[in-house]
Amino acid sequence: MLKKHPLLVLALVAGYAFLYAPIISLVVYSFNDSRLVTVWGGFSTRWYGELMNNEPLLEAAWMSIKIAGLNASLAVVLGTLAALALVRLRKQRGHQSLGVMVTAPLVMPEIMIGLSLLLLFVAMEDVFGWPQGRGMLTILLAHVTFSMAYVTVIVQSRLAHMDRSLEEAALDLGARPMTVFFTITLPLIAPALGAGWLLAFTLSMDDLVIASFVSGPGSTTLPMVVYSSVRLGVSPQINALATIIIAVVALAVLITGVSLYRKEMRQA
Amino acid sequence: MKELQTRLMPHQRRLLMAVPWLWLAVFFMLPFLFVVKISLSEPMLAQPPYADLIRSVEDGLVTIQINLGNYALLWEDPLYREALWGSVKVALVSTVLCLLIGYPMAYGIARAPSHWRLPLLMLIILPFWTSFLIRVYAWIGILKNNGLLNQFLLWLGVIDQPLAILHTSTAVYIGVVYSYLPFLVLPLYATLIRLDNTLLEAAADLGARPWRQFVSITLPQSLPGVLAGSMLVFIPVMGEFVIPDLLGGPDTLMIGKLMWTEFFANKDWPVASSLASVLLLVLVVPFVLMRHYEQRLAEEQG
Amino acid sequence: MASMSPSPADNVWTASDEEPIVRIEGVTKTFGATYAVDDVSLTIQRGEFFSLLGSSGCGKTTLLRMLGGFETPDSGRIYIDGQDVTDLPPYLRPVNMMFQNYALFPHMTVAQNIAYGLKQDRMPKPVIAERVAEVMALVQISQLAERKPQQLSGGQRQRVALARALAKHPKILLLDEPLGALDKKLREQTQFELVNIQERLGITFVVVTHDQEEAMTMSSRIALMHDGRIEQMDTPRRMYEFPATRYAANFIGLVNLFSGYVTEHEDDLVTLHSDEAGCDLQVHHSQPLASGMEVTVAVRPEKIRVYEQHRDLPNRIHGVIEEIAYLGDVSIYHVKLASGKTIQFTQSNVQALAEQPLTWGQEVALGWSADSCGVLTQ
């Protein structure tokens, strides 16, 4: 089909070049010896070494990983509950409003979520004395709120495409609803849960704006450190960091892709 | 099926709905009430930096002081109007640009041989998994005066003076289109791949040439996807902060960046809140549109 | 089942004093404004192979799902083996279902699928293994134990679904279009296997099907459903030979219908006049019919003979052959009567190359006996 449309091929090639040129330039210049990021000064890995000695950045990275891991796990639980409610309880009160509340965080500008949550946390501390100050906990609460919406969307589409008669068959064979959920439903939506977890993890690792609002002293996340460094101009260390992130993601995608491919081959 | 649910989960059912509902109500909806509340209060040099609406409780009388001054300021000072207009312009133009680039890409992937589709889609999603911030940062290195693009163009001889792109609106458009393109390609692809191929064959059989087939069959059928996807770009771009902050310059006024400045630099929480309230109001319309088209898509899927 | 030769006067399956395995009393189920099942009552005897037959949307699947516990009736009661199960959830009912799309758990092997129900009863592991092996042998899939459902052919999946539903030794096995997904050849072969398994295990089978041939081949009794109601409930033979309504007559097999009115009813012989047939017709009918009553006479095409060869037939009509459809074993002739009505009759093609005695445009006289047709009052 595509062969007949040279224009489409051109659009694809140009589109992908646009998407990948910046990423490739990041990687290439991370091995640049020169401090001036865009002037080639010979191959070097010195920025990786400096990155490894950048204490504040490493600390922030560790903070981000902790938050992202907790966030992803919580978001998967809440997102799955929301997806189940949306797919299975269409006649229940609150279905319509839950649908709106799940869609809105997907598009709501981060700055709105960040500002509004900060105001909430301030007011809550004023009234209940909780959450005390702002830090890891408030970032976590904020991240769970918007990343659970993404998990919901992923799990929801998997649930909607799931054959309901599978669960009916399990009920018919004597399994109680809870057993059906854990032995049939959960294993069948597991891939969506995995994808949701990874996405929630990434979203949390990536967030600058919301964290900037709801973080406190001692809870600086990786994007916040990157941002303050980037504001001052280009920095080869950031290129090195970007390359590491890209390598990790590419590796994860490659492993998933290969295992998917193998699975398909085995079943075919 | 609803019958079954009623009988099988008498109270679990209520719990299942209540837990995510309450979480989102408390941490997503409720905060906006506070945004509106703070937007009606007066700024103060204090911690937190605003005066409470409820001033005094004396003799059982509650005095509530509402201050519309922040909104008056937004109305009077052209800076805010320009910022709002700037956001609308950037969001609108970049949505159109995303469509112009994204539609042919989505169409190309949908028409590609089936074993190509998954890798092509993965390549669209892949950048999304790497840091957004870092990808925007990459453009600084490309667009700045002695950056890669200018070096390349100079080397080609197309220009003999480096172009000033970084810190202009052009850079913001490039950054926005680059960051939000996948958000449009994915839903568009999903719509296009579901398109019944026999419809095109029927059109061809009835004498329509390829271009007519596209205009009369594919395009109208994909319209709900186009509109839903467009809102997916338009709405978040309206409040975008990182891209105008890193790539934009003095000529790019956007409401998100202004909110950030009011909040962090000027410590004027009430004005930042009133800006947020206005933005929220503006975003309701495209959000309702998006929900409408998404539900139409869901219905068409059956 | 084959031993239950049905006789018109006495029906083994309805005349029993024993408590029926299924008793459905006045069950109604609506979805919105439509009546899926409308005041249905029926009983099914132990060991029956009972079919719910009807076109799509007639309510047969809803009725089956109510037996399985997947839908609750709006009104009416359902008893299984004397126990009121109307409000019992599926997992507490002594019935198992074979789903239309088989509903095999894709993340489990064949053996795990079959063991699933037994595990829910917390049976000891060796017992489960034994049962699984036994039931896999019964449906001849022992060699597939470790396969995943995706690795099976359609026919194999059907067997796994059957094995899984049988493993728990249910009192009733519910089958929703059990052969619907199989191709024609495999379907015919599997029909007999299902009947064999049912006879061997003695489990009551309740089958939903839209295929009248399938229902006729396998069932001890058929309930023909239409618009949520039971149109007729009978043995396959009586269903064919003595349809109760026009709908039943049309649904199963080919039929010629003549409308007319009763002129005489003597003993069990009814005489009526039909303008469509262009003559008086005689039909055996035991129920009294009033003179002048509007009725319909139903005659199956294979009951109609060429008059020259059978001069003793009381019902005689004349017409012109319009069409001949050669089907191999038989030929179907379309004959246009003087009234303008077209009827069909069939003749066996006994000789391979003999010249056809009947040709297009030929005038024929046709006849049938008084006991090879029926009177329909609805």
Over residues C258-277, the pLDDT tens digits come to 999 999 888 888 899 998 88
Predicted confidence (pLDDT) at residue C339 exceeds the cutoff of 70: yes
The DSSP bridge partners found for residue C43 are: C23
Lowest mean per-residue pLDDT among B17-31, C277-291, C316-330: C277-291
- Do A115 and B2 make contact, defined as CB atoms within 8 angstroms? no
How close is the nearest chain C Cα to the Cα of A98, in Å? 25
Whether residue C74 lies within 8 A of chain B, CB to CB, comes out as no
Task: List the structure tokens of B82.
Answer: 């320009």
Q: How many CA atoms lie within 13 A of C130 on its CB side?
A: 5
Instruction: Choose, out of B1, B4, B15, B17, the residue to mutate when testing the contact with A (most A CBs < 10 Å).
Output: B17
What is the overall mean pLDDT for chain B? 87
Predicted confidence (pLDDT) at residue C8 exceeds the cutoff of 50: no
- Do B108 and A12 make contact, defined as CB atoms within 8 angstroms? yes
Predicted confidence (pLDDT) at residue C314 exceeds the cutoff of 90: no
Chains meeting B at 3+ CB pairs closer than 8 A? Answer: A, C
- Looking at residue C309, its pLDDT comes to 75
What is the ipTM, given to two decimal places? 0.91
Write out chain B residues lying below 8 Å of A37, CB-based.
Answer: 141
Residue C169 and residue C131: Cα distance in Å, rounded? 10
- Looking at residue C6, its pLDDT comes to 41
- The CATH number that domain C8-94+170-249 falls under is 3.40.50.300
Instruction: Tell me the pLDDT band of B274, cut-offs 50, 70 and 90.
Output: very high
Q: Where are the beta strands (DSSP E) in chain C?
A: 22-31, 34-44, 49-53, 75-80, 83-84, 95-98, 172-176, 204-209, 221-226, 229-234, 256-266, 269-274, 279-284, 294-299, 305-306, 315-326, 330-337, 342-348, 363-368, 373-376
The pLDDT tens digits for B149-160 are 888 888 888 888
Question: Of A215-219, B149-153, C26-30, where does the model show the most confidence?
Answer: C26-30
Predicted confidence (pLDDT) at residue C14 exceeds the cutoff of 60: no
Write out chain B residues lying below 8 Å of A250, CB-based.
Answer: 126
How close is the nearest chain B Cα to the Cα of C201, in Å? 31
- Do C117 and A187 make contact, defined as CB atoms within 8 angstroms? no
If you average pLDDT over residues C40-65, what whole number do you get? 94
Residue B16 and residue B13: Cα distance in Å, rounded? 5
- Looking at residue C58, its pLDDT comes to 93
In B, minimum Cα distance to C88 occurs at: B7
If you average pLDDT over residues C322-326, what whole number do you get? 90
In C, minimum Cα distance to B8 occurs at: C89
Predicted confidence (pLDDT) at residue C17 exceeds the cutoff of 70: no
- Do A85 and B38 make contact, defined as CB atoms within 8 angstroms? no
Tell me which residues of chain A, numbers 77 to 136, contact chain B at a CB-CB cutoff of 8 Å: 78-79, 81-82, 84-85, 88-95, 97-113, 115-117, 119-120, 122-123
Domain boundaries, chain C: 8-94+170-249, 254-376
How close is the nearest chain B Cα to the Cα of C376, in Å? 39
Residue B231 and residue B224: Cα distance in Å, rounded? 11
Contact criterion met (CB below 8 Å) for A171 and A184: no
Predicted confidence (pLDDT) at residue C2 exceeds the cutoff of 80: no
Domain boundaries, chain B: 70-301
- Looking at residue B6, its pLDDT comes to 41
Pick B8 or A67 by higher pLDDT: A67
The pLDDT tens digits for B34-48 are 999 999 888 777 777
- Looking at residue B251, its pLDDT comes to 83
The pLDDT tens digits for A39-93 are 788 888 888 998 999 999 999 999 999 999 999 999 999 999 999 999 988 888 8
Tell me which residues of chain C, numbers 132 to 191, contact chain B at a CB-CB cutoff of 8 Å: none
User: Position of tokens 């080397």?
Assistant: B155
- Do A22 and B12 make contact, defined as CB atoms within 8 angstroms? no
Instruction: Choose, out of C28, C72, C85, the residue to mutate when testing the contact with B (most B CBs < 10 Å).
Output: C72
Instruction: Tell me the pLDDT band of B115, cut-offs 50, 70 and 90.
Output: confident
- Looking at residue C3, its pLDDT comes to 37
The pLDDT tens digits for B245-268 are 999 988 889 999 999 999 999 889
Model's pTM, two decimal places? 0.86
If you average pLDDT over residues C293-313, what whole number do you get? 86
Predicted confidence (pLDDT) at residue C250 exceeds the cutoff of 70: yes
Please state which architecture CATH assigns to domain C254-376.
Beta Barrel (2.40)
- Do A78 and B272 make contact, defined as CB atoms within 8 angstroms? no
Instruction: Tell me the pLDDT band of C9, cut-offs 50, 70 and 90.
Output: very low
Contact criterion met (CB below 8 Å) for C169 and C118: no
User: Which residues have a Cβ under 8 Å from the Cβ of C100 and sit 6 or more positions away?
Assistant: A165, C176, C177, C180, C181
How close is the nearest chain B Cα to the Cα of A85, in Å? 5
- Do C71 and B4 make contact, defined as CB atoms within 8 angstroms? yes
Task: List the structure tokens of C235.
Answer: 């043995």
Strands C95-98 vs C172-176: parallel, antiparallel or unpaired: parallel
DSSP string, A130-195: -S-SSSHHHHHHHHHHHHHHHHHHHHHHHHHTS-HHHHHHHHHTT--HHHHIIIIIHHHHHHHHHH
- The CATH number that domain B70-301 falls under is 1.10.3720.10
Predicted confidence (pLDDT) at residue C12 exceeds the cutoff of 80: no
Residue B78 and residue B56: Cα distance in Å, rounded? 35
Instruction: Tell me the pLDDT band of C236, cut-offs 50, 70 and 90.
Output: very high
How close is the nearest chain A Cα to the Cα of C75, in Å? 22
